[in-house]
Chain A
């Protein structure tokens, strides 16, 4: 599986990549599926999210969407959520992972690439309840001999 295009998160006025798909539960519940335009975007959409603060409470909102109804036809946020310029992700409970810093290792799968830091934010029903950063060590380089023979390069 090819590494996937990340979602985008606007936080503190800065746009950062987001390695979590908070929209997936909404789409599953409503029976919505988009078409994948290429192998780096199997889910068929890229959402732009923003954490907005109101009276000391930070909430997660979907503020932009580029979703492939077909390969050529791209839907925006107002097409999927008519009458809304932003959507409170009240269905989202879980952790958002935002990679930060240099890429330590590229992995050709999903959001598996390793970066210097991960900004991790916990949400409960769309409300930010906790956040912390995790420092990642550079993955240990494996010697070719450690792989099973069928994965080694030919001599």
Chain B
């Protein structure tokens, strides 16, 4: 019997059509199995009944017809579903990579001029007549500045000052800046790798 099954070859168009339907049958079985696994529990049915949302016969018939329609679509149009699956996977990967990108306010168009860290420090001291600011570069922001400098280890790194006007688009989501912003950016090959916002 196995030999005769293996020896079978499609001849008519119906044979070819049945072969075409095979992946669709597999997909339909997979979806039906998942739907069966996710069916409402007796507890959930009890809750629905309590709220007067019990499934009526009409609802069951509608659900049955929806399943029939969906299975027909999968049987015939399974290549479309396969294409959609791989496209969706690819889109998800692209989106994940985008989400993992650092979110800087500064963009290349906001870079002003390349600066030396020492020059940046000289003009950074804050004068406060009430003496509430430490006498360090960038005052209370000094720790952030130290962290920013500590990461500038590559010889190819450049420090640039930047200025974002009020209303300029900032970040990955391109929000409008509610006020003007200034600071310094670590740039390598025209790409922004870090930023330190001073105001």
Contacts and interface: CB of A to CB of B under 8 A. Distances in A.
Interface size class of B (residues with CB under 8 A): 20 to 34
A52 B141 CA distance: 21
Given A29-B196, A59-B128, A93 B181 contact: yes
B132 interface: yes
A90 B130 contact: no
Contacts of B128: 59, 88, 90
Given A81-B140, A91-B140, A95-B178, A25 B130 contact: no
Contacts of B21: none
A86 interface: yes
B133 interface: yes
Interface in A19-47: 25-26, 28-31
A94 B197 CA distance: 13
Interface string B119-158: 0000000101110110000011101100100000000000
Nearest to A95: B179
B178 A94 contact: yes
Contacts of A93: 179-182, 199
Interface in B62-98: none
Interface residues of A, number: 25
Nearest to B133: A88
Contacts of A31: 144, 147
A29 B181 contact: no
Contacts of A59: 128, 130
Given A26-B141, A29-B144, A95-B179, A88 B132 contact: yes
Contact of A52 (B130, B144, B198): B130
Given A61-B132, A84-B132, A90 B140 contact: yes
Contacts of B179: 93-95
Nearest to B177: A94
Contact of B133 (A85, A90, A94, A124): A90
Contacts of A86: 130, 132
Nearest to B145: A29
Given A90-B139, A90-B140, 20 more contacts: A29-B143, A29-B144, A30-B141, A31-B147, A52-B130, A54-B129, A59-B128, A86-B132, A87-B132, A88-B133, A88-B140, A90-B126, A90-B128, A91-B141, A91-B198, A93-B182, A94-B178, A94-B180, A95-B178, A125-B126
6 contacts: A61-B132, A87-B140, A88-B126, A88-B133, A91-B141, A93-B179
